[in-house]
Every structure is written in C-alpha cells, then in structure tokens.
Amino acid sequence: MQSLYDIPAPAKLNLFLHITGRRADGYHLLQSAFMLIDWCDTLHFDLRQDGAISREDLTTPLPDDDLVVRAARALQQASACSLGVHIGVAKSIPAQAGMGGGSSDAASTLLALNRLWKLNLSVRVLSRLGLGLGADVPFFLGGHHAWVEGIGEQMTPIQLPNARFVVVKPAAGLETRLIFSDPALKRDSKTAIISGFAADAHAHGNVFEYGHNDLQAVAQCLCPGVTQALEWLQSQGLRGRMTGSGSAVFAQLLHDIDVTSAPSALQVKLCSNLDVHPLLGWAPSDGE
C-alpha cells in the first residue's frame, strides 16, 4: 500500500489585522501579514483502491465532515480520480484560535493527495479548489509568508526575519462570525501599503510590532480569556496581541520567560517562524 506519513500542516499568525471597510455584500475588507510558524498538525495518508475517503482521529475528535474530508472529496471530484484514501489526523493546533489550523490541514491534504494520486495539478488549480473550502487555504498552498488584502484573497509573498514567539491560547475559543457581526467592531482603519509596512519595520527595527488587531477589543469583551492571556504576557515583560479572529494571542520572544507561571487555563507554546511552508514545491507552481 502506498502511504505518505508525517505530513505537516503548520499554523499561521496574523502579525496585524486591520479592517479598512466593508463591501456591499457584507464582506469585510482587511489587511494583514500572515506568518507561518512551526506549530503543526500531522497527517498520514494511506492509498485506497476502492475510491472511498475515510478519516481516523489520532488525537482530538473532529466533526465527521471536517475540512480534511471536504478537501479530499473536492479534489477527488474535480480530478475525476477513482482512487481513495484513509487519512489519520493528529491535531495539535487548537481550534477557534485564529491560527488557521483547519485551513492548513485542508491545504496539506490537497498537496499530499495531489502527489499520492499522481494528479500533478498546479498550485493555481489547487488554490481555486482551496478557496471553496476556506479563505485561508490558498495562503497555505502558496508556501510563503504573505501580505494579505481584499477579503483575504489578494496575497503577495513577503520575507520575514527569523524570530521566536510565545503563543497563548485561552481555554475558550472564538467564532469568527460573532466578532465580525459585533456593532462595536472598528471597521475604518487607514489603508496601509506593503512598502509602508517594510519601511516602518526598517525605521523601528521590528516588523513584528507593526500595526494592531482591530478585532482584539471586541474579542476581549466576548472572551475574558483573551484578556487573561494578554495580561500574563505583560507580566512576562512582553507586548501581546491577538492573532486572526480566534482567541489565541502571541508576542515575539525577546528574552527568556517562565512558562510555568502561566495560569492553568492557558495553553502556552514556544514557536519559531518558518522560512517557507514545509510542502513548498509539492505541486507545480504554474500551468493548468
């Protein structure tokens, strides 16, 4: 039996998240910088000849129709592939954290099955499939840190210096729709430009302190654990901020901290950013 084992699906952090407006259809216009980090889920793929798609939860129980299964089914249908797969999923990235765990799992599934099923589809084709699964899936397929605009579909690869981070996840998660539907959400941040992001980083010497997260104030009202996590980071001499639209917060790790001092309700993990996605190059970069 053909197999692909220990396939990584890395998380991401939003270095900042600005809401610059809202479209007539209700979608929010945003700007952000997405950064890949080494906090990963791990997936295993065993080829099935009968065309069936099955999944085994190796750690956290997942919904029956999660993004991994949906990604496999979408690729199978789009390619008219007669093969199937059994997927083992070892979750590590917390849910509702704003770290893109589900989208990353879907992206790694598309890349792994593209190889296992010998489809040879391009990143562009896979990204079109991925966008139908979740707005962040094309980012993980792109393989690089990215400057993100529009409703999340406009991405420009960027380079970031190597750095270490502490990520803190409260026990409770946050639903994206609750934050974006809150009337108190700030939706009028000034539009930034990517050259300004780079210039500010050069001027201040730290790209990781650029901007802010417009969702943070609303999130702190909805989830007290966000405030608890930020206050613990502050007690360690670090300036934290929320990542994405979930409840996790992070800070650049500029000195040693006492991880054991964190309240028991908080999940704390020390991470590093990645140079590129570990599966970069698993699909052709151009062509249809």
Catalytic residue positions? 12, 136
Distances (CA, A) of 3 to 7, 43, 84, 116, 127: 11, 11, 12, 8, 24
What is the rounded CA–CA span in Å between residue 14 and residue 243?
A: 5
Classify residue 237 as left (phi > 0), alpha (psi -120 to 50) or beta: left
What is the rounded CA–CA span in Å between residue 162 and residue 166?
A: 14
What is the rounded CA–CA span in Å between residue 38 and residue 164?
A: 10
**How far is C-alpha 161 from the geometric centre of its chain's CA atoms?**
19
Q: Return the amino acid letter for 167.
A: V
Classify residue 84 as left (phi > 0), alpha (psi -120 to 50) or beta: beta
E strand or H helix that includes residue 168 = strand 164-169
